[in-house]
Amino acid sequence: MALKEQSRIATIDWKNYAPAPYYDELIGDGQKPRAGAEALTRHLARLGSRELAARRLAADLSIKSMGITFTVYSEAGMIDRAWPFDIVPRVIAESEWRRVEAGLEQRVTALNMFIQDLYGKQKVIADGVFPRSVLEQSVNFRPQCIGMKPRGGVWAHICGSDLVRDGSGQFYVLEDNLRVPSGVSYMLENRQASKRIFPEMFAQATILPVDDYPGELMETLCALSPGQSSTPNVVVLTPGIYNSAYFEHVWLASQMGAELVQGSDLYVSNDNRVFMRTIFGPQPVDVIYRRVDDMFLDPEVFNPDSMLGVPGLMRAWKAGHVAIANAPGAGVADDKVVYAYVPKLIRYYLDQDAIIPNVPTYLCMEPTQREHVLANLDKLVIKPANESGGYGMLIGPRASQRDRKRFARLITENPRNYIAQPTLNLSTCPTLVGGRMQPRHVDLRPFIISRKKPYVTMGGLTRVALRKGSLVVNSSQGGGSKDTWIVADEGGQS
């Protein structure tokens, strides 16, 4: 754009951007950019609001034309929506990210050791670190997996841990997702969109890549193969087109060069080997990256009415003829009550303090903590132990008296199923709303691939609450997303 033309465009004045009292990801005290964000804030100011609006429109059209969607379940049925993407990226300095990376590696290592212990000798229970009663009431513990040891002792090969910052800028782990974590395709599509929107920045700045994720995942899956083939046959098992993450299943299979299959495409032979039906005849399957929940994986073992799984799959897995990622039963650690014990588990298994702390958590199953929660429902966030997507929550300060009474009854009836946490002042990030930069609350979901040396994405999926003042970032409930840039420091505020 010519300088003369650019001068007629309203520039962005960061002095008028007011994120206080929250920690902002781009703008610090004195309206100065944070470390790593200097070049971006200068560039956004130069482009101005009109040019940014034009680039946002181009991004929206691109997302629609490429069919990047997610599915929302509602009373009206299933609705496919275009992926909500805000073009203003979140920036984190590389020096800060390396500590986060180390903390995530530490956390997922301890969680895998914990899962292996629960399906093995259960020393963590015998030593009094983890209560047996919590395990006995776990809805995701699978007795059918007792005695199993997947290759390398890894159960949760792919983990998505949600991170938040408080008002001081401290990172906290909000929850861990170890069953069938989703969102990585949107992280990667966000990056491609950013490259089209801000090609100048990618030409000038050192923004660490995330594009290697499909290759890293495929390499990890191939290493799980129980066979001797140098080219293992890897498939992605999807529940089908009506699943909310179906776009991601198709995308990942395509990027990895793996076959996308449904349960009816596979069968288990009499000698407990898995085969895929093809027009060329049966083809052996070595590794299954499953995006189907445990209870629907194998009707012989779990839900007998399931039409999504493969009869005999658990037999083949136990016989060592096929690898499954994430392993059945890994969801036992995907429990918000278990989450409260993770710092203790890190200390127990690794003899280390947690690098990234948990959000302070009250366990409603503990009488004293339950009394505190019931007396302070107007101040706390209440979460069910095994829901995801932001469903089943109560945000106390914004809830009605009627809803608080309902949750008090739910907690009293089933205290094991609920935890409570303080309402955090989640960090904000500049977001283009109505042609203006406005602060909106964000969280972050990095993805970790577990293997001998864990792989952590350089950044992750930043989710943003598009409604003013909202703390709910889930896309299923009106949230959006941003690209996350991990960049070299330039000497700004940390």
Residues 258 and 371 in one domain: no
Q: In one letter, which amino acid is 283?
A: Q
Does 284 map to a domain? yes
Does 136 map to a domain? yes
- The string of DSSP letters for 20-75 reads TTSPBSSB-GGGPBBTT-HHHHHHHHHHHHHHHHHHHHHHHHHHHHTT-EEEEEET
Does 37 map to a domain? no
What CATH number is given to the structural domain containing 394? 3.30.1490.270
Residues 265 and 376 in one domain: no
Half-sphere exposure of 454 (CA within 13 A, CB side): 26
Which residues in the chain show pLDDT less than 70?
1-12, 68-82, 388-390, 475-478, 489-494
Look at residues 395, 422, 449 and tell me which one is the last residue of a structural domain: 422
Residues 225 and 276 in one domain: yes
Look at residues 406, 422, 438 and tell me which one is the last residue of a structural domain: 422
Look at residues 401, 422, 443 and tell me which one is the last residue of a structural domain: 422
> What pLDDT is attached to residue 457?
97
Residues 395 and 310 in one domain: no
Residues 393 and 339 in one domain: no
Least Cα distance to 427 among 19, 154, 7 occurs for: 19
Residues 255 and 302 in one domain: yes
The parent domain of residue 125 ranges over 105-157+208-350
**Tokens in use for 478?**
């009106």
Residues 272 and 414 in one domain: no
Separation of alpha carbons 140 and 331, rounded Å: 5
Residues 240 and 370 in one domain: no
Residues 305 and 408 in one domain: no
Least Cα distance to 142 among 155, 160, 161, 158 occurs for: 155
Residues 113 and 228 in one domain: yes
What CATH number is given to the structural domain containing 217? 3.40.50.11290
Least Cα distance to 474 among 70, 61, 185 occurs for: 70
Does 187 map to a domain? no
Residues 290 and 329 in one domain: yes
The CA-based diameter of the chain, rounded to the nearest angstrom, is 76
Does 176 map to a domain? no
Are the CB atoms for 149 and 172 separated by under 8 Å? Answer: no
Does 50 map to a domain? no
Separation of alpha carbons 261 and 276, rounded Å: 8
- Write out pLDDT tens, residues 221-275: 999 999 877 899 999 999 999 888 899 999 999 999 999 999 999 999 999 999 9
Does 230 map to a domain? yes
Number of domains in the chain: 2
Separation of alpha carbons 398 and 339, rounded Å: 25
Does 472 map to a domain? no
Residues 266 and 393 in one domain: no
- Write out pLDDT tens, residues 387-436: 765 678 898 888 999 999 999 999 999 999 999 999 888 999 999 887 78
